[in-house]
Structure 1
Amino acid sequence: MTFSLKPHVTATATEHGTVLLDQRRGRYFQLNTTGGLILRTLLDNGSPEQVATMLTEHYGITLQQARGDITRLLNALTAARLVTT
């Protein structure tokens, strides 16, 4: 799966996560540190399964929970028209 930000979206890491700016609509979106980690890994060509494994190791959650969290984030970013998959 290829994952990228839309051309009109920029991402900036902050101490509290990641901020996405939709330059076309002038809207900001805030991701917490986990959401930012998921986004960065996917943008660096990591697969959702690699991200899920990383989350289970880092946070001690189940693989099923990690997959669900990733799916919900991707669905939200797609619905907001911030990413392409």
Structure 2
Amino acid sequence: MSALELRPEVATAPADGGMVLLDERSGRYYHLNGSGAEITRMLLDGAAPGEAARRLAERYALAPERAAADVDALIASLEGAGLVAP
């Protein structure tokens, strides 16, 4: 997977140190915490998951494996919620 692309029906907005995603099809809101929002912004701005994990590891002094697992888990959650474009 390269950069993340949300479905056209998903709107984003900053909120409480994180990000809110609104699935306009279902009317459901999803709240991302600060790190989830940061990862999502990196991916939406064109970073590949590996690059986002590298940046996350550097910024927060995380083990690279932990950062990669966090990025992968976020992507899986977004996909599972049907928010990611095919």
Question: Shorter chain as normaliser: what TM range?
Answer: over 0.9
| Superposition TM-score, scaled by structure 2 size | 0.93
Give the aligned partner of residue 43 of structure 2: 42
| Superposition TM-score, scaled by structure 1 size | 0.94
Identity %: 38
**Gap runs ≥5 in structure 2:** none
Give the aligned partner of residue 16 of structure 2: 15
**Gap runs ≥5 in structure 1:** none
Q: Secondary structure at the match of 1:81?
A: coil
Could you list the structure 1 runs, at least 4 aligned residues long, displaced by more than 4 angstroms after superposition. Answer: none
For 2:45, give the aligned amino acid: D
Give the Cα–Cα distance (whole angstroms) in 2 for the partners of residues 48 and 24 of structure 1: 26
Give the Cα–Cα distance (whole angstroms) in 2 for the partners of residues 2 and 53 of structure 1: 14
Query: Alpha carbon RMSD of aligned pairs, Å?
Result: 1.1
Task: Give yes or no for contact 2:3–2:45 (8 Å, CA) kept in 1.
Answer: no
- In the alignment of these two chains, the number of paired residues is 85
